[in-house]
Amino acid sequence: MGLNNQWMQRDLAVLWHPCTQMKDHEQLPLIPIKRGEGVWLEDFEGKRYLDAVSSWWVNVFGHANPRINQRIKDQVDQLEHVILAGFSHQPVIELSERLVKMTPEGLTRCFYADNGSSCIEVALKMSFHYWLNRGQSNKKRFVTLTNSYHGETMAAMSVGDVPLFTETYKALLLDTIKVPSPDCYLRPEGMSWEQHSRTMFAAMEQTLAENHETVAAVIVEPLIQGAGGMRMYHPVYLKLLREACDRYGVHLIHDEIAVGFGRTGTMFACEQAGIRPDFLCLSKALTGGYLPLAACVTTDEVYSAFYDDYPTLRAFLHSHSYTGNPLACAAALATLDIFEEDNVIENNKALAQRMASSTAHLVDHPHVSEVRQTGMVLAIEMVQDKASKTAYPWQERRGLKVFQHALERGALLRPLGSVVYFLPPYVITPEQIDFLAIVASEGIDIATSNKVSVAVPKDFHPGFRDPG
């Protein structure tokens, strides 16, 4: 029995893995990773895998980055953790100062959580509580986009709309208002991204006109709906939404947990629309992929609604044990140093262009309906019929075939259903991007070589599929 198999057997005896049907591992080997370096992950038998999905979209500057490593090592000798209620520490203060400085003007207060879903919960609670403190207790509903994903805690699921994650728990979820997504994959033939996004905004305008008196906030994933299949839309939608939220007296929450920190081509996606949300939710790449940390950055206007004498009971009584953990904050500070010192956003433009050119041939593939890209995210949508964009039945798990082929070739590509995507660390080289394109092309050829064997109706958003 090899070392990988030994570790796999020990794992399967005691672990329950996330986003996984554990019975799959009766046929699909689990891969235990011993070490990482740069874009590479290495198993216990020495085989390497290029991490094309940044280990669930978190790792931006590579595994075992020496600059982040050293910052954490230095911090652990000083202070590993302290309660953040009534106490503070240097890393969290410095991180907050830097986030306030680098986010859009007017975002002045940082509230910390442990992960993305928890950060969304903070923003939703804070928005509702703001209106309550302002005497508008009727404003307690939230508006979200179809095909959206904001996490897997209860309120976060409530504002999501990917049935794979929400259908089972719908009896437990909040009553939210769903508005059709501006997803440009669905645009009519010949219509531009901008025109389609403008057209789709009419539904949001009508929803706010009719419901603003009871709506606390609108929440969106700006520019890219990640878990919904890397579906993308034009920044004009965000600009129109900001104007409408101001007009109707509704908060705007930007979930930039997956798309913040350079992923869309700018440091934050909201910059491309020239706007400032009322709540900016950040996590994942915040610590360079090292440690759990999230920040909900908001305005003095929101903060002031909670600032009062204790007997008024207006304080925001929300907490996590590891809120603002010093080690995580140290990792975040090192990550921001790299952004600042290495001209990352500008350098990514060349990498993004290489991603586009290396996959350009797939536009003509008979079973690829679209190759779309926003910044350092590129998605390739496999379909059974190119002309009609008829999706493959989710039961056939075509993306799994791409995943398995990529592992054999030494790459970690984890498709979202039939959507193959690249979301690599920013330290990837042009040659490594070319390698990923070759592997993805091979995998797509294999995955689409067989005819459809399951009869299901056409559906752009399959209710159930392989999670990413």
Q: What is the pLDDT of residues 164-188, one digit of tens each?
A: 999 999 999 999 999 999 999 999 9
Residues 132 and 245 in one domain: yes
Determine if residue 319 is labeled as part of a ligand binding site: yes
Residue recorded with tokens 């203060």? 93
Domain of 199, CATH number, reads: 3.40.640.10
* Close Cβ partners of 458 (under 8 Å, ≥ 6 residues apart): 388, 390, 391
Q: Is the dihedral of CA 247, 251, 255, 256 positive or negative?
A: positive
Distance CA 402, CA 384 (A): 15
Residue finishing a domain among 342, 370, 405? 342
Residues 250 and 165 in one domain: yes
The answer to whether position 7 is within a domain reads: no
pLDDT, tens only, 200-222: 999 999 999 999 999 999 999 99
Q: In 82-135, where do the E strands start and end? A: 107-113
Sheet of 33-37, strands arranged across: 33-37, 40-43, 48-51, 411-412
Residues 194 and 291 in one domain: yes
Determine if residue 117 is labeled as part of a ligand binding site: yes
The answer to whether position 131 is within a domain reads: yes
Residue finishing a domain among 306, 322, 342? 342
Domain count, the chain: 2
Phi and psi at 341, nearest 5°, equal: -90, -20
Residues 325 and 361 in one domain: no
Please give the full DSSP string across 293-319, using - where no structure is assigned: -EEEEEEHHHHHTT-S-GGG--S----
Residues 48 and 131 in one domain: no
Domain of 56, CATH number, reads: 3.90.1150.10
Determine if residue 284 is labeled as part of a ligand binding site: yes
Given a cut of 90, whether residue 459 has pLDDT beyond it is no
Residues 303 and 348 in one domain: no
Residues 120 and 181 in one domain: yes
Determine if residue 414 is labeled as part of a ligand binding site: yes
Residue 83's domain comprises 67-342
pLDDT, tens only, 121-166: 999 999 999 999 999 999 999 999 999 999 999 999 999 999 999 9
Residue 458 pLDDT class (50, 70, 90 cuts): low
Residue finishing a domain among 316, 342, 368? 342
Give CA separation, 177 vs 82, 99, 150, in Å: 40, 31, 15
Residues 198 and 324 in one domain: yes
Given a cut of 80, whether residue 465 has pLDDT beyond it is no
The answer to whether position 93 is within a domain reads: yes
Residues 117 and 241 in one domain: yes
Please answer whether residues 343 and 422 qualify as being in contact, where contact means their C-beta atoms are separated by less than 8 angstroms.
no
Residues 185 and 283 in one domain: yes
SS3 label, residue 110 = strand
The answer to whether position 392 is within a domain reads: yes
Residues 246 and 104 in one domain: yes
Residue 274 pLDDT class (50, 70, 90 cuts): very high
pLDDT, tens only, 52-102: 999 999 999 999 999 999 999 999 999 999 999 999 999 999 999 999 999
Residues 321 and 213 in one domain: yes
